[in-house]
């Protein structure tokens, strides 16, 4: 095995009796076993009943490994239940001819197809250019018009190796701080490739403009061990312009607890691949360890907390709160620390238990955060999609973000396997099916991007104006001036100034309708003005200080 290349190289459930751990099979747990890609099985239509009453639809409870009728004091006992009552005639992966409606509390949501004929969308995100950005596992990167659904292919990466679960995976799109027109974006992607017959993984950065497309690929991190299963990998750019990258254990459980290995980890690196000076271990990219196969990654703007979704083996899919330097237990600990050997390991190794764990597992996948008036019932909630269950699940967070108070499925199984999810600034939820990944039952229109929206929602005039006219002036800002003019903004926002390296040099809260802000003395140069609105939306504008 060659060295890692790039500059960065230098658990609430019902409980049952203790049992012996089941050995994890040498196969994927995305649906309970490994199925070679492009082998499909037909499925006959079946009538599915989903009820708001917990007893009406027997679904797996959140379970653990020891019997107790009461939950442990520090955990909440939760039961999975469906959030609404309806019947649909469906087959896994079947397209819905007409938009379908769902009721969440007093809000009516409409689900409709946006784009069809795709092949295993892996990543789906809302870009800074107000387009959807998508990766498909076989190697294609595209932009998708959120209004028309038109897919604009940008690049098919020639050296992507798609095998098993591996291929083109996570992506992040970041605006540069240059003032060029058209705007320049940096696009980070993780994918698997073959080197001398060996499967590996790398992180690559592209440059994108509307005029040139994707160009100038640069390997940021390469030569990571990989396998046909447990490749991860999601990407998340933090406000300080560092990058989080999840990595699976590459079917080698010993790597997850090895602090020298980059597999089975959440990594944190600067966007050039170097090691951030404030990482938990100096000189190491390792941010957290003890992971099996993290599949979702999201940050809550208001609290700064980062959450991940992760596949278990034969039990204990997890939602984790990611904290620097913590150990998440795999392979010694599955789910909560509630077996004697697990408790010993957890006490000795700074293990962070999950917020939620599911047994049987449901193959949790994409994860995002929702906090928008379009669906007030979902405010301050995680939204999760799953592959095996084909469910969209919402999980309200406590005010501190340290707990999940309950959970509810909006649907389960209706559209087949679900892998990707993101939210637009308008409160719409976009989902990507994964029915052509070799484990689903694709319809002729699969795979698809679906959009779930409250069509009755109308943003307030102030909110709409803010999102449409956001800018700062004068720009350039003369050397003799320190007054920055702003559009009318709602109270509770926070304005930050980032320098050309992405470092936060100044921040200030905003009062209601504040139209002017006095900046501190800064050296001449290009800055990024970052506005975080009370609903969690982030807006950015470039500012040249003369």
Q: What percent of the chain has pLDDT over 70?
A: 73
Mean pLDDT of the chain: 80
Bridge partners of 130? none
Positions of CATH 2.120.10.30 in the chain: 63-453
Q: Dihedral, CA atoms, 472, 473, 479, 480, nearest 10 degrees?
A: -120
pLDDT digits (tens, 9 = 90+) for 281-293: 999 999 999 999 9
Cα–Cα distance measured from residue 392 to residue 60, given in angstroms and rounded to the nearest whole number: 15
Select 63-453's CATH number: 2.120.10.30, 3.30.980.10, 1.10.1740.110, 3.30.310.40: 2.120.10.30
Least confident range of 27-36, 172-181, 369-378, 434-443: 27-36
Kindly tell me the number of DSSP H helices and DSSP E strands found in the chain. Answer: 2, 35
Cα–Cα distance measured from residue 192 to residue 166, given in angstroms and rounded to the nearest whole number: 6
Structure tokens at 266: 């959440």
- Model confidence at 477: pLDDT above 80: no
Positions of CATH 2.60.40.1270 in the chain: 462-545
pLDDT digits (tens, 9 = 90+) for 305-357: 999 999 999 999 999 999 999 999 999 999 999 999 999 999 999 999 999 99
Residue 420 near residue 429, CB atoms below 8 Å:
no
DSSP-derived secondary structure for 428-474: -EEEEE-TTSSSS---TT-S-EEEEE-TT----HHHHHHHHH---BS
- Model confidence at 270: pLDDT above 70: yes
Select 462-545's CATH number: 1.10.10.10, 2.60.40.1270, 2.60.120.10, 3.30.1370.100: 2.60.40.1270
Least confident range of 41-45, 356-360, 428-432: 41-45
Measured at the CA of 528, the angle between CA 373 and CA 465, to 5 degrees, comes to 35
pLDDT digits (tens, 9 = 90+) for 17-72: 333 333 334 445 565 443 333 222 233 333 222 222 222 223 333 333 332 222 33
CA distances from 281 to 269, 287, 325 (A): 12, 8, 8
**Which are the contacts of 197, defined by CB distance < 8 A and separation ≥ 6?**
none
- Average pLDDT for 137-146: 97
Cα–Cα distance measured from residue 546 to residue 539, given in angstroms and rounded to the nearest whole number: 23
The whole-number pLDDT of residue 543 equals: 74
Q: How confident is residue 526, by pLDDT bands cut at 50, 70 and 90?
A: confident
Residue 127, exposed/middle/buried by CB under 10 A (0-12, 13-18, 19+)?
buried
Cα–Cα distance measured from residue 433 to residue 122, given in angstroms and rounded to the nearest whole number: 9
Q: Tell which residue, 414, 375, 449, has the closest CA to residue 103.
A: 375
Structure tokens at 507: 């921040």
Bridge partners of 5? 222
**Which are the contacts of 73, defined by CB distance < 8 A and separation ≥ 6?**
none
């Amino acid at each position: 095995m060659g060295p890692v290349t790039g500059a960065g190289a230098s658990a609430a459930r019902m409980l049952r009796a203790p049992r012996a751990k089941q050995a994890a099979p040498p196969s994927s747990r995305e649906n309970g076993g490994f199925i070679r890609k492009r082998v499909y099985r037909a499925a006959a239509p079946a009538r599915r009943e989903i009820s708001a009453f917990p007893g009406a639809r027997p679904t797996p409870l959140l379970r653990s490994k020891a019997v107790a009728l009461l939950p442990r004091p520090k955990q909440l006992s939760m039961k999975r239940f469906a959030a609404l009552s309806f019947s649909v005639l469906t087959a896994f992966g079947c397209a819905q001819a007409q938009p379908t409606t769902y009721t969440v509390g007093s809000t009516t949501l409409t689900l409709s197809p946006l784009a069809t004929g795709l092949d295993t969308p892996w990543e789906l995100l809302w870009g800074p250019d107000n387009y959807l950005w998508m990766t498909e596992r076989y190697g294609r990167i595209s932009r998708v018009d959120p209004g028309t659904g038109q897919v604009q292919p940008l690049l098919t990466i020639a050296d992507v190796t798609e095998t098993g679960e591996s291929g083109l995976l996570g992506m992040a799109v970041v605006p540069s701080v240059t003032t060029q027109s058209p705007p320049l974006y940096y696009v980070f992607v993780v994918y698997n490739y073959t080197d001398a017959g060996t499967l590996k993984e790398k992180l690559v950065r592209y440059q994108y403009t509307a005029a040139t497309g994707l160009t100038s690929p640069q390997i940021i991190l390469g030569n990571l061990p990989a396998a046909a299963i447990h490749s991860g990998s999601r990407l998340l750019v933090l406000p300080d312009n560092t990058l989080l990258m999840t990595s699976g254990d590459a079917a080698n459980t010993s790597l997850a607890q090895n602090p020298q290995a980059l597999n089975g980890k959440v990594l944190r690196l600067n966007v050039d691949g170097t090691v951030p000076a404030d990482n938990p271990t100096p000189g190491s990219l390792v941010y957290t360890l003890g992971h099996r196969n993290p599949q979702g990654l999201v940050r809550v703007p208001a609290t700064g907390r980062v959450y991940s979704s992760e596949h278990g083996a034969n039990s204990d899919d997890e939602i984790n709160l990611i904290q620097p330097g913590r150990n998440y237990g795999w392979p010694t600990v599955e789910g909560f620390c509630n077996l004697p050997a697990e408790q010993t390991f957890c006490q000795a190794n700074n293990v962070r238990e999950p917020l939620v764990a599911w047994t049987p597992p449901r193959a949790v996948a994409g994860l995002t955060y929702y906090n928008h008036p379009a669906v007030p019932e979902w405010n301050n909630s995680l939204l999760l999609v799953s592959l095996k269950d084909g469910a969209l699940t919402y999980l309200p967070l406590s005010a501190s973000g340290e707990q999940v108070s309950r959970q509810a499925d909006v649907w389960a199984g209706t559209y087949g396997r679900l892998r990707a999810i993101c939210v637009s600034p308008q409160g719409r939820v976009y989902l990507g099916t994964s029915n052509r990944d070799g484990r689903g039952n694709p319809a002729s229109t699969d795979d698809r991007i679906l959009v779930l929206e409250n069509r009755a929602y109308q943003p307030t005039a102030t909110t709409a104006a803010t999102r449409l006219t956001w800018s700062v002036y004068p720009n350039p800002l003369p050397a003799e001036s320190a007054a920055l003019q702003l559009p009318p903004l709602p109270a509770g926002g926070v304005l930050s100034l980032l320098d050309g390296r992405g470092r936060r040099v100044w921040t200030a809260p905003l009062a209601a309708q504040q139209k002017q802000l006095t900046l501190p003395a800064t050296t001449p140069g290009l800055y990024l003005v970052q506005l975080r609105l009370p609903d969690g939306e982030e807006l950015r504008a470039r500012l040249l200080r003369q």
